[in-house]
Amino acid sequence: MPKAAGVAEHPSGSPSAGVSDRLFRSASLATAAERDTALEAPFRVVIVDVGKAKEPLSNEIDRQLRFLASLPALDVHLVTDACIELIPDGAAVIDLAHPDLAGADHRLLLDRLLRALRFRDPKSLVVEQACAIAPLAEICAELQLPHHDLTANTPRAAADWIDILARKASYRRSASRAFP
């Protein structure tokens, strides 16, 4: 995403400088420069899959990521502590298992991420697969962010996601916004 004029950046020596460059991984946008200049989609989905133990990313989450990444006008992000071998095209990953986050409070990171998401795009859909570190539904209700629990209702196809996104996040497949 292009940097807005007048937005203060972290000083180069601060611990926050370059954090997004180290934590966000994407198959299609490998470098920070590519991410900084990429156009944003008008809608966002964040899937949260944070378990109690380090396990590989489940086939179900991988399948849901692929469904979502195939939809137009949608940015897909995954917050996880699972071991990820291959990131699906069209998805970005916030890797809580990253060594730079070893001593970080993951609950605080998730809270800050969701608050930033609410500020950036209040219609973003937060999808919960597992969240052992925080009551995600309660946090989303407090922030007034749309929430979907995959354990209660797992979409079986991309068309199911379109219906969920339309109901909960006002998603339109051909949507465009002049300013995201």
For residues 146 and 124, the answer to whether their CB atoms sit within 8 Å is yes
Question: 135 vs 1, 102, 130, 140, 170, CA distance in Å?
Answer: 30, 21, 10, 9, 24
Set out the domains of the chain in order of their start, with CATH numbers.
Answer: 21-169 (3.40.50)
- Output the six-digit token pair for 98: 């990253």
Summarize pLDDT for 71-128 with one digit per residue, the tens: 888 888 888 888 777 777 778 888 888 888 878 888 888 888 899 888 888 889 999 9
Summarize pLDDT for 2-57 with one digit per residue, the tens: 333 333 343 444 344 344 444 555 555 445 555 444 556 778 888 888 876 566 77
Task: Check: pTM over 0.85? Answer yes or no.
Answer: no
